[in-house]
Structure 1
């Protein structure tokens, strides 16, 4: 007869710790994967401006972030379909697929941390702080083999990141062969998806996470609870700032487009006045 050990008396699933050696293997493999992708895309992509190093790095970094968020989003959907029972108790549920997924993302954040560190500017300081918090949070989860479900909830924000990064990439790498109408339609779909996923994941999931932290506070160590609460609260504040900037940029872009259109119309009127006979 098998005897199951439960980490906490209220756990729904038995405690099945995974050896930390697996997390190290997955993290290293993920780090190498993004290192190779970075080198391959750099060798094939032509820089927009060879003299503008910061902008070229930002484009490359955004492309790698888009690749990570796209892969992570697909894997999260697969993980939910494979094990919907994790919603019964995300704190105690664990399997190798979800564990490897968290380690995969941790490997990416480690790579991105060093990439930002090598190309650091004043604007990357906030990203470095964010990555330190995320790396600490995910590493603690992997080493203890606990709280994997809520780690996946946190990583579900990457679903919105797909649209956030796609907005920039469309502006930088817009296909020349595509018509103006197809570009406009694609941009519209990305903007709609961006707002919908932002509200669902960056607001909804973060709110749910804070709520569950309060409800299940007795199941967490005081230090872990404090660190997690501060981290999620910081992310919530950053999401509000990000959403404000998103709307602000959207409005300013529309105003700028209308202004350019008005200037264009005035120029056409002036040209017609010169060309056409009176």
Structure 2
């Protein structure tokens, strides 16, 4: 009963955040002057997603810090109120975001996001209802650590800040955390599932066997989308890095081996 209250309260909370962002007109100039409604909607949507990522990412790391054994026992009985609250509140957010997409975006343009949300909501509702596999859901929410930088990347691009140093730093952090918090964490869960499949009852077995490969495929597609858009930026950073190393090497060489030529004026005797 308490988990249901958390879930519904979370839906209301994130909808309220959306309204507050609209009320205070938290729009950058480049978005505010756009006459495209979908651009303005996207800004509000990503802002709300970013706030959830901050909450879920920080809370997830806290839960794993307090109980690191959850990483090895994804189906252990967990009596942590914080972990249960995290899963329930995140389920509410994904329900809110799915409704927001269905109401404002054609399904053909948002199938990957909706597929992700359907998988997550199915898993989390089952977890919240039964109280089992709470550690599994907490580890799955490690992806929100990466989402902090993923959503920040989108906000910076929309605000016209893609040529700043902060964008470059965020872009590199996004790539590193994407690999660590999405690819590696999901691979870790798949490995655990493979070794413990015999001990998992239905319907959990069917849900996990379906959701884990789907999540991995969705994240591979998302990663290639990000890399294709940031490829030019990444190549520019690599080029500048190589150029800096080359220039530093030349300076070192010039200091270690000063010119041997002697000016003829230096040989004159007064």
- Same fold by TM-score, threshold 0.5 exceeded? yes
Q: 1:237 aligns with which of 217, 227, 230?
A: 217
1:114 has 2:103 as partner: no
Change (3 A) 1:256 1:88: closer
Superposed, which structure 2 residues align to 1:217-256 within 5 Å?
217-253=197-233
1:136 has 2:122 as partner: yes
Q: Give 5+ residue unaligned stretches, structure 2.
A: 238-270
The 2-side partners of 1:39 and 1:174 are apart by 24
1:92 has 2:79 as partner: no
SS in 2 for 1:216: helix
Superposed, which structure 2 residues align to 1:1-278 within 5 Å?
21-45=1-25, 46=27, 48-49=32-33, 51-94=35-78, 95-121=80-106, 122-173=108-159, 184-253=164-233
Structure 1 contact 92–147 (Cα < 8 Å) conserved: yes
Which stretches of structure 1, 4 residues or more, deviate above 6 A after TM superposition?
A: 254-257
Question: What is the Cα deviation at residue 173 of structure 1?
Answer: 3.2
Structure 1 contact 86–93 (Cα < 8 Å) conserved: no
SS in 1 for 2:32: coil
The 2-side partners of 1:228 and 1:193 are apart by 29
The 2-side partners of 1:254 and 1:89 are apart by 38
Aligned residues: CA RMSD: 2.2
The 2-side partners of 1:90 and 1:232 are apart by 14
> Deviations 1:252-278 (Å, cap 9, x if unpaired)?
456899xxxxxxxxxxxxxxxxxxxxx
Structure 2 contact 127–133 (Cα < 8 Å) conserved: yes
Structure 2 contact 3–85 (Cα < 8 Å) conserved: yes
Structure 2 contact 75–134 (Cα < 8 Å) conserved: yes
Q: Give 5+ residue unaligned stretches, structure 1.
A: 1-20, 258-278
- The worse-fitting range, judged by mean Cα deviation, of 50-59 and 203-212 is 50-59
SS in 2 for 1:146: coil
1:6 aligned residue:
none
Question: What is the Cα deviation at residue 189 of structure 1?
Answer: 1.6
The 1-side partners of 2:69 and 2:186 are apart by 21
Give TM-score scaled by structure 1 length: 0.77
Question: What is the Cα deviation at residue 129 of structure 1?
Answer: 2.6
2:259 aligned residue:
none
The 1-side partners of 2:154 and 2:227 are apart by 15
The 1-side partners of 2:71 and 2:123 are apart by 20
